[in-house]
Structure 1
Amino acid sequence: MTIPLPYPATGCKALRRAPSPDSFRALRVRPVQSLDDLQRVFAIRATVFMAEQRCPYDEEYDGNDLAALHLIAFIGREPVGTLRLRWFADFGKIERVCILPSMRGRHIERILLAHAIEIASRKGYRLMIGQIQARLWPLWSRVLHCELQDGRESFSFSDFEYLEIDIPVPRHPNPLTSGSDPFILIRPEGDWDRQGILEESAQRSSDRNREEAA
């Protein structure tokens, strides 16, 4: 069973107002690491983007899903929200943020974004960008410390007008580097604080060597 991400203290610094600790405890957020979770992500996005916003299938599932890190949020056993992260040389990109209609108004988007920024910060990024529907700029500007990108005009796709925003990423106190413990660097993406399967493998090899030497 995947252990949820820790309370995202660094990620919360990117929020203009962090939800209460009780709100964080009520919502479980984890990185997608299985086909089942990816199907849950696709179901949420179909409900929001395809059903609500009438986005065509080929435009919603755009060829980037298997090259991205997805986060999924649960209340109890029910998946209620998701977002997608993609990584470039010196910035990351937050995409496909969506919450089930029946679950809105519970700060789920803030909690998902705090976890996303926490991961970006841990990876050493200092900038995330977003392409947001222009009509939602007032909402994004209230949720995150972010700015409209200078000199960039709006653009349109899938029948909506979009704006580009910059989201500064707070510096993490313990970022991943090329000098980090090798076993931390091979743990599942976004799950760096829990011992991974390959560490169990290393212990098995160590035990076998001791037995052979005895």
Structure 2
Amino acid sequence: MKVKVVENDQELQDAYKVRMDVFVEEQKVPPEIEIDEFEQESTHVVIYEKGKPIATGRIREADGYGKLERICVLKSHRKFGLGKMIMDELESVGRKMELKQFKLNAQTQAESFYQKQGYKTVSGEFLDANIPHVTMVKNK
């Protein structure tokens, strides 16, 4: 499996499908806030298995940071290292954008995963879509 940078509308729709499955169906995020005003300015990535999208994430420049967002893996495909693959590709895209630091808002249940990727927690806990989050940063 390989991470693919989204290049067309079908691949973008595939990224949205994974996000809808994970965030809206599984985590009950309201669908009207899942797709937002930053979609077009973001670079999206998708992992496919046998032609089906199974993981995704996006990055955009925000206040001098590479802001990683909407990182998710279908429940059936977790624990196989796909999240790390998505992170590595997003950071690679960010370095090509000449960004030297990265930021993300992590669900607290995933905080240890991001710590293993080199991220440090820099905020207290807050709610986003009624899910506890913390802000994390990494300098590269």
Q: Which residue of 1 aligns with 2:139?
A: 168
Aligned pair count? 140
Alignment of 1:28-107 (within 5 A): 28-107=2-81
| Residue 109 of structure 2 is aligned to residue 141 of structure 1 | no
Deviation at 1:153, TM superposition (A): 2.5
Normalised by the size of structure 2, how large is the TM-score? Answer: 0.93
Pairwise CA RMSD of aligned residues? 1.3
Q: In structure 1, what is the Cα distance between the partners aligned to 2:96 and 2:60?
A: 15
Larger radius of gyration: 1
Report whether the alignment pairs 1:130 with 2:101. no
- Is the partner of 2:22 in helix, strand or coil? helix
Q: Greater strand percent: which structure? A: 2
Question: Structure 2 counterpart of 1:83, which letter?
Answer: G
Runs of 5+ unmatched residues, structure 2: none
Secondary structure of the structure 1 residue equivalent to 2:113? helix
Equivalent-residue separation in structure 1 for 2:75 and 2:124 (angstroms): 30
1:158 partnered with 2:129? yes
Shift of 1:133: 0.9
CA distance in 1, matches of 2:103, 2:49: 27
* Structure 1 unaligned residues grouped into runs of 5+: 1-26, 170-214
Question: 2:33 and 2:63 mapped to 1: Cα distance?
Answer: 25
SS at match of 1:65: coil
Instruction: Please give the secondary structure, in 2, of the residue aligned with 1:135.
Output: helix
Separation in structure 1 between the aligned mates of residue 55 and residue 79 of structure 2, nearest angstrom: 12
How far the C-alpha of 1:89 sits from its partner, in A, is 4.6
TM-score, structure 1 normalization: 0.62
Residue identity opposite 1:157 in structure 2: D
Identity score, percent: 19
User: In structure 2, what is the equivalent of residue 20 of structure 1?
Assistant: none
C-alpha distance in structure 2 between counterparts of 1:84 and 1:67, whole Å? 10
**Superposed structure 1 runs of 4+ greater than 2 Å apart:** none
Higher helix proportion, which one? 1
Instruction: Report the alpha carbon displacement of residue 134 of structure 1 after superposing the two structures with TM.
Output: 1.6
